Amino acid sequence: MKKVGILLLCLMLILPISVNAAKSNSKDTTKEEEKEDNVDTSKLVKVYVFVAGGCGYCEQQLAYLESLDSYNKKFTIVEKELFVDNQTWAHGADYELGETVANGFNKAGFKNANVSGTPFVVISDLYAATTYSGNLESVINEAYEAGDKDIVSCYAEGRTDCLPEPDTKISRKALIIAGVCSVVLAGALIGAGIIISKKQD
């Protein structure tokens, strides 16, 4: 009876230790899995791809983006229908939004943003172009580090102040410099005219 009691006592001491060790191991594994799967989706950059049905370059653009290691870790893809298909080029459900976004980027100085073709790709306030590109990872990383400005959503909300327009006003300092240069040039021309007229006399 003593042996059975000692055996039971040993089992009671060993069992909680092994159960706690198993729990500890499962917690560690879960934490590592959570680190990999625990992505803050609110911080993901939205890469907008305006497409047309049947557009081969659009499919290539989407495949390229999905192949990047940072896909669903730093960015997600938002597909928009610019044209119904690439045969009739009938306006798609998101044509007006695409046109508004392209016009906004054009006013901000982006020369390749337009709705004349697909894919039209937009990344934060850093990139907007109507062309296939296999070199977008650095732009995505920059947008992720700076925080996504999500210009497309801004225009979708009906706002007009989504992108700053370039400052085309001439600064006061530039005007002063231009004025001084004009006075110096005018003085030089007058002086040259006087010298030439004295030589002729």
Lowest-confidence region among 56-65, 86-95, 160-169 = 160-169
Lowest-confidence region among 74-83, 98-107, 188-197 = 188-197
Write out the CATH class of domain 41-156: alpha beta
**What is the pLDDT, as a whole number, of residue 143?**
98
Instruction: Please state, in angstroms and rounded to a whole number, the distance separating the CA atoms of residues 122 and 66.
Output: 16
**What is the pLDDT, as a whole number, of residue 84?**
98
Does 85 have pLDDT greater than 60? yes
User: Of 1 and 79, which is predicted with more confidence?
Assistant: 79
**What is the pLDDT, as a whole number, of residue 55?**
97
Lowest-confidence region among 22-26, 86-90, 159-163, 190-194 = 22-26
Q: pLDDT tens for residues 34-43?
A: 444 677 888 9
User: Of 66 and 186, which is predicted with more confidence?
Assistant: 66
For the chain, the structural domain boundaries read: 41-156
Does 8 have pLDDT greater than 80? no
Does 21 have pLDDT greater than 60? no
**DSSP labels, 2-65:** HHHHHHHHHHHHHHHHHHHHHHHHHHHHHHHHHHHH---GGG-EEEEEEEETT-HHHHHHHHHH
Task: Using a pLDDT cut of 70, give the percent of the chain over it.
Answer: 68
Does 199 have pLDDT greater than 90? no
Instruction: Please state, in angstroms and rounded to a whole number, the distance separating the CA atoms of residues 102 and 113.
Output: 5
Task: Using a pLDDT cut of 90, give the percent of the chain over it.
Answer: 60
Does 3 have pLDDT greater than 90? no
Instruction: Please state, in angstroms and rounded to a whole number, the distance separating the CA atoms of residues 37 and 39.
Output: 6
**What is the pLDDT, as a whole number, of residue 96?**
98
